[in-house]
Amino acid sequence: MPPKHRTPATSTPAASTTPRSTTTPRSTAPTQSPKASKNNTDAQRIVQDLWSSYQTRTSQRTKLLDTFLAFLILVGVLQFLYVVLVGNFPFNAFLSGFSATVGQFVLTASLRIQTNPQNEGEFKTISQERAFADFVLGSLLLHFFCVNFIN
Amino acid sequence: MSVQMEDNQLLKQATSPKTRGLLRVIILALIAGAAVSSRLFSVIRFESIIHEFDPWFNFRATKYLVQHGFYSFWDWFDDRTWHPLGRVTGGTLYPGLMVTSGVIYHLLRALALPVDIRNICVLLAPAFSGLTALATYLLTSEMVTSPSAGLLAAAFMGIAPGYISRSVAGSYDNEAIAIFLLVFTFYLWIKAVKLGSVFYGALTALFYGYMVSAWGGYVFITNLLPLHAFVLICMGRYSPRLYVSYTSWYALGTLASMQIPFVGFLPIRSSEHMSALGVFGLLQLVAFVDYVRAQIPNKQFQTLLRALVLLVFVVAFGGLVLLTVTGVIAPWTGRFYSLWDTGYAKIHIPIIASVSEHQPTAWPAFFFDLNMLIWLFPAGVYMCFKRLTDEQVFVVIYAVLASYFAGVMVRLMLTLTPIVCVASAMAFSQILDTYLDARKPKVPAKEEEGADVAKVAAAAVLPEGLRSTRGPVIGIYSYASKLTVVGASLVYLLLFVMHCTWVTSNAYSSPSVVLASRLPDGSQHIIDDYREAYQWLRQNTPNDAKIMSWWDYGYQIGGMADRPTLVDNNTWNNTHIATVGKAMSSREEVSYPIMRQHEVDYVLVVFGGLLGYSGDDINKFLWMVRIAEGIWPDEVKERDFFTARGEYRVDDEATPTMKNSLMYKMSYYNYNKLFPAGQAQDRVRQARLPAQGPELSTIEEAFTSENWIIRIYKVKDLDNFGRDHQSATAFDKGTKKKRGSARRKGPKTLRVE
């Protein structure tokens, strides 16, 4: 369930209102470690809360983007594993494949940030359509470079 | 130009936005025109000629590109340099410059304007300097609201000697286009950060890619942009805009930079590029944490975030050091070390230290290159501190970094100049905006002088005193003070223009291939020895005659004489250069086998003793010795070239090693015949030479130019009778000498008997 994995990462801007719940996502683990034992059972419940609120509050489009992001992460990890296990012989090919994944990830993440209604104040000049057009342009450039680099 | 700008200021109040826009376009066009024309001194004084050393290679490569097309340029293996090694030229150059002029060439041909490629190459740098002025205008306009700042910055950039030094007509070097790309990339980056737009991020990446293809100095951008992002994060200024702009720039820009064969995998291998990668990873983390923050808006989170940032930074830096130590990432290059420790290169890499543009900058150079901008610059930076928006943080960082680097290496003055122009234009426009404002305060006539310092002070002391001190109007409203300040600034601007013109015409417009001197009657005398000698080589030697010279002249020989060389200014193989250095600094018996092994046909030396031309080979000789000593410490010793008292001399007291070195012999061979006996004088080193000139046996003089600047020697073939050259020469002079010695011996023996 990759989408769930992504939940705390990219998709909870509108999700939760409980202040305590946010100390529990895994990535901020260093800060919560003292209270870990106390919150151990809470954590599971809160993650479930987050998940359900994510399900309800995120628009279908954004979910689509999140799925794509999760897919890109998966592909990136697979490529990396391949290199670790098998070796990096066609280094150009690996590099362009991996950078395509990373680049596409950040471009999609940017699109997601720009289309997030919460960030409207930050991106006054960028409409949803403009964001998508920029995304397409960026991706075209990215893949042009990758194809050129792949040998 | 400056006058017009003030006109613009005055007109501003009276004109509509449309007129103002038109005026601005006209002013920018004039600035670009001034920028181009002030760089044409060298063409007018001399002719349309490529300057100095490196440009000759670029010119040669451009000709190759135009003749053979792009693909063969890309795969170009050059067997006419670095004989016998050759050079994979296509993979070891920054092709941006050549491709740019190639594109312009073909574009003009398509428009039925058949322009000679040489003229395109000569005029490329001035043309791009006009564009640089425009880019500076755009960059400055992003920084401040005042419309005059951008125009001032453009004008400053157009004529600042710090930039002109590398962009006069004929100075066909990478920097010619790179500075434009640098400034424009920064403009796009600021725009991207401001708007948070992928479009501008992608444009930044594209121009960054262009910059990578054009100049090795792209590393400056590679480190400055991450530093900007990092500082913004540390200031707690992270915003989604930063994420969007930085990641889109990095993801695309890194890929774009890897398309250049010379850069290749460097962006993921070398330490110089790691900061960009680190900040990229950091931003992912910060973006993620930022989402989390969206849910707990408490104050503690700020400190938490900062702690996390610092922690990750430390971990990443540790990882970087670890990877560097274990050798996964290439360690820092020597040129990089010399940026931090100015003494490093001198000890470890003489080849880098020997290049004059890698020397630390002398203090007067700052004033010489930037004039009044250098003292306006801190004021502009201070003004950035006052408001400190995201883009002004950029100015501050850029200013600090570039100032440091400009102090370390002369050539990096070039990267400092744009930010100096921007910052000082901000300060200067602040002055003008304040003092050129013709508005009057709307107060009773009595209080018109309200801003008088005395009255303000009085108001502070006596808050309930006189009626006139009750509500002082703060500002400058007296025409006298306005006129004084504006007049003074005008004088400064005029002085600046005069200084720039003077510096450009006197210091930076010499091609250094052609020298100019003044005759006693004041008329100009052109000294054209270089081209005379190269033309001689071109016409009198076989097409594949190998020329040995010090590496400084490699590109020129390749470009002007079209003959293969042993070493040239692309100093990629230190050992090969050291070999040449050893041949130059050893005795003939040692040098001759070296030259035979490398199939050297001619040896070229530059000698300024007759003319007083100080950039000659005897003055560079110690570097040859040092570089050779780096490889053969047992055979070449720098100490042997100094007298017992530690002096470097060429006269009677010169050490035997010095006198027997090939370089010394070639420089002074036959030189004393120009003078009455015993009067031979070296005008560079102010030394009287020994009455008996050096003698050569393994090489013979082939050509000496009019003013003796270039001397060419032919390496003799093996002797027909199998003798060594010393005895062969002795035999040729032989009979005479023998008889002479016999005569001398005769009486001796007589006396003994």
Query: Cβ–Cβ of A27/B265 closer than 8 Å?
Result: no
Query: Cβ–Cβ of A146/B195 closer than 8 Å?
Result: no
Determine if the peptide bond prior to B84 is cis (ω within 30°).
Answer: yes
- Residues linked to residue B711 through DSSP beta bridges, in sequence order: B605, B704
- Quote the minimal CA–CA distance from B297 to chain A in Å: 8
Q: How many CB atoms lie within 10 A of CB B163?
A: 31
Q: Read off the tokens for A31.
A: 């800060």
- A-to-B residue pairs, Cβ atoms closer than 8 angstroms: 129
Chain B residues inside the 8 Å CB shell of A112: none
- Distance of alpha carbon B24 from alpha carbon B46, whole angstroms: 35
- Distance of alpha carbon B126 from alpha carbon B35, whole angstroms: 7
Give how far the C-alpha of residue B529 lies from the chain's centroid of Cα atoms, to the nearest Å.
Answer: 26
Query: Cβ–Cβ of B240/A114 closer than 8 Å?
Result: yes
| Closest residue to A137, CB basis, from B202, B258, B292 | B202
Query: Cβ–Cβ of A113/B198 closer than 8 Å?
Result: no
Note the pLDDT of residue B742.
45
In a 10 Å sphere around its CB, with 0-12 CB exposed, 13-18 middle and 19+ buried, how is residue B739 labelled?
exposed
Q: How many residues does chain B have?
A: 753
Contacts of B71 (CB under 8 A, 6+ apart): none
Kindly give the residue spans of alpha helices, DSSP state H, lying in B235-273: 240-258, 266-269
Query: Cβ–Cβ of B197/A99 closer than 8 Å?
Result: no
- Quote the minimal CA–CA distance from B421 to chain A in Å: 30
Question: Would you give the DSSP letter of residue B537?
Answer: H
| Closest residue to A9, CB basis, from B239, B251, B288 | B288
- Quote the minimal CA–CA distance from B329 to chain A in Å: 15
Closest CA to B622 of B600, B645, B641, B604: B641
Q: Which of B255, B266, B328 to mutate to test the interface with A (most CBs of A within 10 A)?
A: B255
- Distance of alpha carbon B376 from alpha carbon B425, whole angstroms: 8
Q: Which residue has the tokens 């290496």?
A: B409
Closest CA to B410 of B371, B358, B364: B358
- Quote the minimal CA–CA distance from B475 to chain A in Å: 36
Chain A residues inside the 8 Å CB shell of B205: 141
- Distance of alpha carbon B11 from alpha carbon B447, whole angstroms: 27
Rounded to 10 deg, the angle between the B274-293 and B218-234 helix axes is 30
Chain A residues inside the 8 Å CB shell of B202: 134, 137-138, 141
Positions of E strands within B554-649: 600-606
Residues in chain A with pLDDT values less than 70:
1-47, 49-50
- Quote the minimal CA–CA distance from B252 to chain A in Å: 6
- Quote the minimal CA–CA distance from B590 to chain A in Å: 47
For B307, nearest residue in chain A (alpha carbons): A31
User: How does strand B600-606 pair with strand B710-715?
Assistant: antiparallel
Q: What is the pLDDT of residues A30-57, one digit of tens each?
A: 444 444 444 455 556 666 766 777 777 7
For B297, nearest residue in chain A (alpha carbons): A19
Chain A residues inside the 8 Å CB shell of B252: 103, 138, 141-142, 145
- Distance of alpha carbon B437 from alpha carbon B481, whole angstroms: 12
User: B599-629 burial, b if ≥16 CB within 10 A, otherwise e?
Assistant: ebbbbbbbbbbbbebeebbbebbbbbbbbbb
- Distance of alpha carbon B63 from alpha carbon B53, whole angstroms: 16
Q: What CA dihedral angle connects B195, B198, B203 and B207, to 10 degrees?
A: 100
Contacts of B597 (CB under 8 A, 6+ apart): none
- Distance of alpha carbon A22 from alpha carbon B291, whole angstroms: 10
Give how far the C-alpha of residue B186 lies from the chain's centroid of Cα atoms, to the nearest Å.
Answer: 19
Chain A residues inside the 8 Å CB shell of B197: 123, 125-126, 130, 134
* Under 8 Å between Cβ of A50 and A6: no
- Distance of alpha carbon B750 from alpha carbon B624, whole angstroms: 50
| pLDDT, mean of each 10-residue run, chain B (753 residues) | 50 68 92 92 87 89 91 88 85 90 93 90 92 93 86 92 88 90 94 91 94 90 92 88 92 91 83 84 83 60 70 79 69 63 65 72 86 90 88 92 87 90 91 80 50 52 53 72 89 92 86 81 84 91 90 89 88 86 88 88 89 85 87 86 85 85 88 82 84 84 89 87 80 59 47 48
Q: What is the CA radius of gyration of chain B?
A: 32
One CATH from 1.10.10.10, 3.40.50.300, 3.40.50.12610, 3.30.420.10 for B527-732: 3.40.50.12610
Q: Read off the tokens for A22.
A: 């946010």
For residue A51, the one-letter residue type is: W
DSSP line for B297-349: --THHHHHHHHHHHHHHHHHHHHHHHHHHHTSSBPPPHHHHHHH-TTHHHHH-
Note the pLDDT of residue B499.
92
**Is B196 touching A (CB cutoff 8 A)?**
yes
Query: Cβ–Cβ of B268/A95 closer than 8 Å?
Result: yes
Note the pLDDT of residue A36.
45
* Under 8 Å between Cβ of B132 and B180: yes
Query: Cβ–Cβ of B292/A25 closer than 8 Å?
Result: yes
**Is B476 touching A (CB cutoff 8 A)?**
no
- Distance of alpha carbon B177 from alpha carbon B121, whole angstroms: 11
| H or E stretch at B714 | strand B710-715
Q: How many CB atoms lie within 10 A of CB B642?
A: 17
Question: Would you give the DSSP letter of residue B358?
Answer: G
Contacts of B185 (CB under 8 A, 6+ apart): B204, B207, B208, B211, B221
Chain B residues inside the 8 Å CB shell of A17: 295
Give how far the C-alpha of residue B552 lies from the chain's centroid of Cα atoms, to the nearest Å.
Answer: 16
Q: How many CB atoms lie within 10 A of CB A78?
A: 11
DSSP line for B33-64: HHHHHTT-HHHHHT-S---SSHHHHHHHHHHH
Three-class DSSP category at B562? coil
- Residues linked to residue B330 through DSSP beta bridges, in sequence order: B270
| Closest residue to B196, CB basis, from A95, A96, A122 | A122
Residue spans per domain, chain B: 173-330, 527-732
Q: Which residue has the tokens 């470009």?
A: B559
| Closest residue to B252, CB basis, from A91, A130, A138 | A138
Query: Cβ–Cβ of A135/B311 closer than 8 Å?
Result: no
Q: How many CB atoms lie within 10 A of CB B473?
A: 16
Q: What CA dihedral angle connects A112, A113, A114 and A115, to 10 degrees?
A: 50
* Under 8 Å between Cβ of A137 and B199: yes
- Quote the minimal CA–CA distance from B97 to chain A in Å: 21
Chain B residues inside the 8 Å CB shell of A125: 195, 197
For A151, nearest residue in chain B (alpha carbons): B259
End-to-end CA distance of chain A: 35
Chain B residues inside the 8 Å CB shell of A128: none
In a 10 Å sphere around its CB, with 0-12 CB exposed, 13-18 middle and 19+ buried, how is residue B45 labelled?
middle
| Closest residue to B294, CB basis, from A27, A28, A118 | A118
Indicate the pTM of the whole model.
Answer: 0.83
Q: State the number of CA atoms in the 13 A half-sphere of B556 facing the CB.
A: 27
- Distance of alpha carbon B731 from alpha carbon A76, whole angstroms: 79
Query: Cβ–Cβ of B291/A106 closer than 8 Å?
Result: no
Q: Read off the tokens for B178.
A: 């790179």
- Distance of alpha carbon B641 from alpha carbon B275, whole angstroms: 45
Query: Cβ–Cβ of B244/A31 closer than 8 Å?
Result: no
* Under 8 Å between Cβ of B291 and A58: no
Note the pLDDT of residue B327.
64
Q: Which of B207, B208, B244, B283 to mutate to test the interface with A (most CBs of A within 10 A)?
A: B244
- Quote the minimal CA–CA distance from B211 to chain A in Å: 16
Q: Read off the tokens for B512.
A: 């250094």
**Is B338 touching A (CB cutoff 8 A)?**
no
- Distance of alpha carbon A145 from alpha carbon A32, whole angstroms: 42
* Under 8 Å between Cβ of B100 and B176: no
Chain A residues inside the 8 Å CB shell of B232: none
Q: Read off the tokens for B626.
A: 């040092």
User: How does strand B546-548 pair with strand B600-606?
Assistant: parallel
Query: Cβ–Cβ of A99/B289 closer than 8 Å?
Result: no
Q: Read off the tokens for B300.
A: 């503690």
φ, ψ for residue B323 (rounded to 5)? -65, -35
Query: Cβ–Cβ of B199/A145 closer than 8 Å?
Result: no
Q: What CA dihedral angle connects B13, B17, B22 and B24, to 10 degrees?
A: 60
Query: Cβ–Cβ of A114/B244 closer than 8 Å?
Result: yes
Query: Cβ–Cβ of B255/A91 closer than 8 Å?
Result: no
Contacts of B361 (CB under 8 A, 6+ apart): B406, B407, B408, B409, B410, B413
Query: Cβ–Cβ of B255/A109 closer than 8 Å?
Result: no
| Closest residue to B304, CB basis, from A13, A31, A110 | A31
ipTM over 0.85: no
